Amino acid sequence: MECTASDIPLVVQVFTWLNIAYKFLKHYKVIALHDEMLKQNDLTGQYKMQSLSETHWFARSRNLDIAVNAHGLLVDLCDKVMSETKLKEGKKRSEEKAFDADLRLMAEGLRRQLLDHNFCITLLVIKDVFSSCNAVSEHLQKSAIDLLAAIEAVNNLRVTLLSSRTDESYAVYEEVIELLNKKRQIHSTEDTEAYVPQPSQKRAEKLPARLYDGQSRSAGGVALVVG
């Protein structure tokens, strides 16, 4: 897993995004707005990203889940950070941006990638891979597990990952992206134009050749249901 995360550019891009998103969501101004949006959507106590530890990969799996399941909310949050204004103090009443330029720039970069088709495909694939691996990892850490059960768990994981490398599995990801696009509301602002990611036309461009083990360009992933 560490090798995969450090050697494949698209995977590195996703985890770089997660690091930036974590820092962005920890800013005191963004926290207040994020908490308000969570409350409005009855999601209080959920979708809080964790710091990405070098050794605890659960945080990566958790943050990948949040990036997918709160996709629309994160896009809306970035839109608000980029566009919200406040009354400027002084004799003349005027409006100014509510968030600093560095936060608006960070929001624009995060939003742009959330609306990028290739980025979303990679995000979905990595989410499923990490979710499966994390489940097996937790199972292997149980004190009561024996050697045969451990071997069976690892073999089942391998079968799951290999069986997901099909065009049918890739089609599921395309459907999920379409669902994500339908579930979110795109708001056009004077700072940015709404962009809807379109499916790739060439098969070879959809996923990197070495997304799993370098043996095939076939895309895949465990079936994902977005609630």
Q: Which residues contact 175 (CB under 8 A, 6 or more apart)?
A: none
Q: What is the mean pLDDT of the chain?
A: 76
Residues 125-177 have pLDDT tens digits of 989 888 888 888 888 888 888 889 889 989 988 888 888 788 888 888 899 88
Half-sphere exposure of residue 140: CA atoms within 13 angstroms, side-chain side: 15
* Segments of 69-167 assigned E as strands: 85-88, 94-97
Question: In terms of C-beta density within 10 A (0-12 exposed, 13-18 middle, 19 or more buried), how is residue 78 classed?
Answer: buried
pLDDT at 55: 64
pLDDT at 91: 57
Model confidence band, residue 179 (pLDDT cutoffs 50, 70, 90): confident
Per the CB < 8 A criterion, the answer to whether 12 and 5 are in contact is: yes
pLDDT at 192: 40
Token output for 94: 């005027």
Of residues 7, 16, 227, 2, the one with CA closest to residue 119: 16
Residues 84-127 have pLDDT tens digits of 887 666 556 667 788 899 999 999 999 999 999 999 999 999 89
Token output for 41: 């959507």
Instruction: Kindly state the helix (H) or strand (E) to which residue 65 belongs, with its residue range.
Output: helix 58-69
> How does DSSP assign 44-60, residue by residue?
TT--------SS-THHH
Rounded CA Rg of the chain? 20
CA 110 – CA 181 distance, rounded (Å): 16
